[in-house]
Structure 1
Amino acid sequence: MANPIQPIIIKKVKKAAHAHHGGAWKIAYADFVTAMMAFFLLMWLISMTTQEQKVGLAEYFAPAALSPSNSGAGGILMGTALDSSGNRSSVPRDTAMGTSKQDGSRRTSGRASDREASRPASGSQADHSAVASLRQALQTLPEVAELSRNIVIEVTKDGINVSLVDEQGRSMFPENSVQPYERTRLVLKALAPTLRRLPNRLSVTGHTAAARPGSVQSVDSWNLTAGRALAVREVLSSAGMPNDRFASVVGRADTEPVFPDNPYVPQNRRVTITLLNEEPPLPPGGLR
């Protein structure tokens, strides 16, 4: 009997291609390598900078208006200096000021660091501690945050300057008036408790910008700056500052502009409260 013919079965196995895994891990790895490179670069830069440079960097990135340099107006708190020997500005100014002011900031910030480096370490530490206390007092007032560019705290050879500075579009006093805005009063009242706790005597000085050629001044600049300085003293006094803590209250008119090359800009209008560096009084019967 013949065997039946069995069908031949051919199985074809179709191999599916493996799914593409993507390159997300490559991106993550690249980010990690970049971060590590930035970290080691930062460590190298820190190891190569001096203590004065570290202080300067810390002050540059510090919040609020302030910079340890010589002057009377410019950063509540990014350090700026308002006279020709200090740093011009650590915060962006009106573009109309031009690049010369930015160059001045770079030159003068170095001089300010040199001044601080030459001061006794104990005095420098005390000044920085006082600056930190003043900044903290201002940071507790959210309502004055918009004035961060109008308040500059900085260390100078004479002491610590706390300057209320006019900016383009925002001033601390109404035009030609000796009475400050309410926001200016709030700033002064916030500073008063800290100023009262510090041992320094205070000097209050008013400054204004020069009148443009051909313009007519309706108020005498000497009376205006002296009146604004007196108004600041009165606000501090009403907030609890003893009268015997004031060493002087004066007006300088437009004789000491922050930017001598452009004495007409608003930043020259300011009132500066200086916490004076003074020698401690001799004890009774001490050497004379």
Structure 2
Amino acid sequence: MGRRHQHEEHANHEAWAIPYGDLVTLLLAFFVVMYAMSSVNEGKYRILSDSLVAAFRGSPRTLQPIQVGEKSVGSGADINMTIVQQAMLNGQPRSMLEPSPLQVADQSQGARHAADNAYEAEHSSSAVAELESVAAEVEQAMGELIRDQMIVVRRHGLWVEVEIRTDILFPSGIAKLSEEAQNILKQLALTLKPFPNAIRVEGHTDNRPIKSAAFTSNWELSAARAASVVHLFTDAGMDPHRLAIVGLGEFRPAYPNDTEQNRNLNRRVLLVILSGSGNPEGEYAGDRGQPEVAPPPPPQPQAQPQPAVTTAQTIEPPASPGGR
């Protein structure tokens, strides 16, 4: 049997075309994707551009798309900036490059606030120093009574309290100053007179009710005692504009009203010496007492023209010659 001759396979010289075609297809897909990513959606860009321009520059000035590539010569060509910034400034007036007035206003406002804070700090420190001198003068003038704990001086930063117990001021249930109290308060008034500080005079009582012909409650009693001190101060030459009367009755006790000793301590008069030379009622006091703006008078009704009245003349008949 004859041996079968094996055919020799021919070499495929075009086998490179298949991977080449795959490579070209992949490159085409790659560039299509890159093109799709690089294309600008004008609608989305306008929204983004308007938002950015409105946030940083105010109202939008241009709707031109971003220039891709080298920076073109325009309103911002001579300034070191990015391509996006150059594109946003392209075609805009040179005034857009000037500092924003809002920023200048913010800077000036910040400087003004800093100056105000510095002035307030300096004013507060001077007011505290002035109050310290007032407290020192009172302690020197009332040294004996302070040692006997009949007068207490307390410092509270922007005000000083001078507490006077009513044992040396008023008898029980009475608002008239005793002779000893008048001498003490006159000395205190002469001490406080040279200073411009405003003073609130507060009257306090204990919680025992009172009802008499002169005072129907502790409100009236505390206010009357504070008024007695104020009258003595004005008689001693103090400016009445510096003084104010506050009657607090039994509602600001220093100690619980459960013992006779505590009730005695709660019956007191407080001089609250404020910082500065303002009103003793506080900052709002300057707006009170001002005349209100009178409303315009209503229009007066115009007088209606009166119709002309014709007076009829009465013609009397001639008298008869014969008389009556």
Relative to the length of structure 2, the TM-score reads: 0.42
Larger radius of gyration: 2
Higher RCO structure, 1 or 2 (CA under 8 Å, sep 6+): 1
Relative to the length of structure 1, the TM-score reads: 0.47
